[in-house]
Chain A
Amino acid sequence: MKLKGSQILLKMLEEEKVDIIFGYPGGSVLDIYDQLYKSNIKHILVRHEQGAVHAADGYARATGKVGVCLVTSGPGATNTVTGIATANMDSIPIVVFTGQVPTALIGNDAFQESDITGITRPCTKHNFLVRSVEELASTIKEAFHIARSGRPGPVLVDLPKNVMATETDYDPASIKIRNYDIFHKPAPKKMAQVLEMLTQAKKPLIMTGGGVILGKAAAELTELARLYQIPVTGTLMGLGSFPGTDPLWLGMLGMHGTFYANMAVSHCDLLIAVGVRFDDRVTGTIETFAANAKIIQIDIDPSSINRNVVVELPIIGDTKATLRDMIKFLAEHNYTPLPTERSEWLKQTAEWREKVPLTYCQNGQVIKPQYVIETLRKLTKGNVIVTTEVGQNQMWTAQFFQFDKPNTFITSGGLGTMGYGLPAAIGVKCAFPDKQVVDIAGDGSIQMNIQELATAAQYNISVKIVLLNNGYLGMVRQWQELFYEKRYSHTDMSYAPDFVKLAEAYGIVGLRAIKPGEVEPVLQKGLSIDKPVLMDFQVSREECVYPMVRPGESISEMELGTREMIN
């Protein structure tokens, strides 16, 4: 069968079971858009290419499938870079198709030409420039395989205009790709070491990360922790991989971790780290991180091991398969924790929790941002997928929302990309139209991709935006308050649009709450409307996120806020 490049692209997307594309047309991709006009694949027209990538990324995080976007050459392609880097830092499988000038013009500084494979080489898992239509089908197949296999990540495929317009034979059955993946099977010797280390441990702790969610290993991790009564802490990316309402859950660790999680890490004698990479926001000073513990680290990517923290027992492997092997091995060898020692350890963590709980003080006539998040949790019973922007809104959500299920907390962890939450929420809502999807936003971040309100309005993608509006770049202001003697250099954002009017101008619903008593009714109303809704919560302007570990300090040394705050 003879097909044009643009037709082969769509055939291959169908082969890969792609049901939705987030994109933005332009000169170099006109042939592809002409095919899309006749195709059954859904296309969401975003308002900026960065939004397309974040939407595909949100879709991927919520579904575990590969997210897809399509943009034109030159500025269309360069606008995707922040989105790609965001996905790369958090190992999210997406495939980005970029238009390119015809092959004969590449290198000529042609109109809307950019060397996008060169630009994205350091922030993709892999990328391709398709030089001829003959290699198109196999390249697309390989791109999807690379994006989703091993440690997932973004793959970019650059498509010159003439390659899309040229015909060639197309036979899906004959497409072969090479297998690049090296699968590491954990050796039984390692499991024996795990057993020995667990048997010797009096104060074991599990630390769960994004690799548990990506590896679909939340059930195994939960089983292991509950079977042997091992308390669990998690990184930002790991939230939801263990139930946030389970008594064994200690909350997030690190810079804005709970007092009890950070104390547990600092005092445990065995740390089982699963799917984490020991980011600097998690460890604080490396020298004092888990200083009393032996560390077992399970990760699919050897480059994550011994990179920041030196571990006693590295296990390179898929998190799900490894945890399953571990559960089986421990059961076969009748591992039982020493009852008195384990209950003393659990008593200790409970004491820390009681001494400094995660708290805030909702008094007076000003809304506290944490109260909005807790009320949202109460009203939805957690049956919601939450995206966030970046900064205080993100940290309060991580601290207060108590995520029970994997793939329900969608946030830019590694890169910390402001403007992520709204387009990501649009991507999530496209995947799960019947689920409640909420973007918990800050007034600074939301303005970075505010144009996507038009996308939500056009397709009636009924995402709910909970805007914690404090008129500041709150997290930067917090650092200025604590470390720069309150010199608020260029962080006051109180000159802002009226967000309710802005929402209405875009054709969506805008609601506002100014007093604490208005929080619940506004949330109730906003959540019940089957349209995109922006809820503007005017919150306490100078509320800080606590606990906080000063940069460069040990995570056992936390600023806890004022007495009033912790009651």
Chain B
Amino acid sequence: MENKEHIISILVHNKPDVLARIAGTLGGKGYNIESLCVNTTTKYEISKIVMATIGNQATIARIENQLQRLVDVIQVDDLTNVDSIHREMILVRLNFAEDKKEQIKKAIDTYKWKVIVSNDAFVILEITGDKPQIDLALARLEPLGVTDITRTGIVALDLKG
């Protein structure tokens, strides 16, 4: 069985320590969390955690079972093998160094990047997409001189309807 990235969606009661319990359960059993996204759902008492982890099918099944044991966990779904959409977001600051200014403006036009803040000194961009799209954007941003960046974990929804 090959190792690959799995996107796991976990519905939980929004209780103190719930994230620590989930992270501790995985860490204590020797599994690594590659990326993580947590927030409340439309109900404040219920949160959704979307987590990326790497393993083969048997490992992932074990992770799901271990998570199901937790009292605050309501539901666990592996979104990897079902039709689902995945998104990440980055916020990037590019400083307008004299030699880069024109290059940066041209790239923003070409790639239709969304500008959140722009002044004389720098620009902050918001870019969303799935993992390959974000990785591509990062490759394009790199020569422009990224001065700061923050990247979310993956959020995902299945297409079951």
Contacts and interface: CB of A to CB of B under 8 A. Distances in A.
Given A303-B62, A306-B61, A121 B17 contact: yes
Interface residues of B, number: 18
Given A126-B71, A301-B69, A303-B65, A117 B17 contact: yes
Contacts of A117: 17
Nearest to B61: A306
A301 B62 CA distance: 12
Contact of B20 (A118, A125, A180, A182): A118
A146 B71 contact: yes
A478 B103 CA distance: 75
A122 interface: yes
A42 interface: no
Given A125-B71, A146-B71, A180-B71, A307 B21 contact: no
Nearest to A181: B71
Scoring B24, B68, B71, B72 by chain A CB atoms within 10 A of each residue's CB, the highest score goes to B71
Contacts of A431: none
B69 A303 contact: yes
B61 A121 contact: no
B91 to A, nearest CB: 31
Contact of A129 (B16, B62, B70, B71): B16
B77 to A, nearest CB: 15
B160 to A, nearest CB: 20
Scoring A151, A302, A305 by chain B CB atoms within 10 A of each residue's CB, the highest score goes to A302
B149 interface: no
Contacts of A303: 62, 65-66, 68-69
Contact of A302 (B13, B17, B28, B65): B65
Interface string A111-135: 0000001100110011001010000
A302 B72 CA distance: 16
Contact of A121 (B13, B24, B65, B69): B24
B93 to A, nearest CB: 34
Nearest to A118: B20
A126 B28 CA distance: 15
B62 A307 contact: yes
Contacts of B17: 117, 121
Interface in B53-67: 58, 61-62, 65-66
Contacts of A146: 71
Interface in A388-423: none
Contacts of A126: 70-72
Interface string A95-124: 000000000000000000000011001100
Nearest to B62: A307
A82 B6 CA distance: 35
Contacts of B20: 118, 121
B68 A302 contact: yes
Nearest to A129: B16
A166 to B, nearest CB: 19
A122 B28 contact: yes
Scoring B13, B17, B20, B58 by chain A CB atoms within 10 A of each residue's CB, the highest score goes to B17
Contacts of A305: 65
Interface in A229-280: none
Interface string B24-37: 11001000000000
Interface string B75-90: 0000000000000000
Nearest to B27: A122
Contact of B21 (A121, A129, A306): A121
A28 to B, nearest CB: 20
A314 to B, nearest CB: 11
A192 to B, nearest CB: 24
Nearest to A153: B69
Contacts of A118: 20
Contacts of A182: 68
B52 to A, nearest CB: 21
A305 B62 CA distance: 9
B75 to A, nearest CB: 10
Interface in B99-116: none
Contacts of B70: 126
Contacts of B58: 306
Contacts of B61: 306
A178 B21 CA distance: 19
Contacts of A301: 65, 69
A307 B59 CA distance: 9
B87 to A, nearest CB: 30
B24 A122 contact: yes
A307 B69 CA distance: 14
A125 B68 CA distance: 12
Contacts of B65: 301-303, 305, 307
A151 B66 CA distance: 13
Nearest to A131: B16
Interface string A286-309: 000000000000000111011100
Nearest to A121: B24
A306 B1 CA distance: 15
B71 to A, nearest CB: 4
A332 to B, nearest CB: 32
Nearest to B45: A178
A515 B97 CA distance: 94
A126 B71 CA distance: 7
Nearest to B28: A122
Interface string A420-441: 0000000000000000000000
A134 to B, nearest CB: 15
Nearest to B67: A303
A180 B12 CA distance: 11
A89 to B, nearest CB: 13
21 contacts: A117-B17, A118-B20, A121-B20, A121-B24, A122-B24, A122-B25, A122-B28, A125-B71, A126-B70, A126-B71, A126-B72, A129-B16, A146-B71, A180-B71, A302-B65, A302-B68, A303-B65, A303-B66, A303-B68, A305-B65, A306-B61
Interface of B: 13, 16-17, 20-21, 24-25, 28, 58, 61-62, 65-66, 68-72
Interface of A: 117-118, 121-122, 125-126, 129, 131, 146, 151, 178, 180, 182, 301-303, 305-307
Given A126-B70, A178-B13, A180-B72, 8 more contacts: A118-B20, A121-B24, A122-B24, A125-B71, A126-B72, A301-B69, A303-B62, A305-B65
| 8 closest residue pairs by CB, A with B | A303-B65, A126-B71, A302-B65, A122-B28, A180-B71, A303-B66, A303-B69, A121-B24
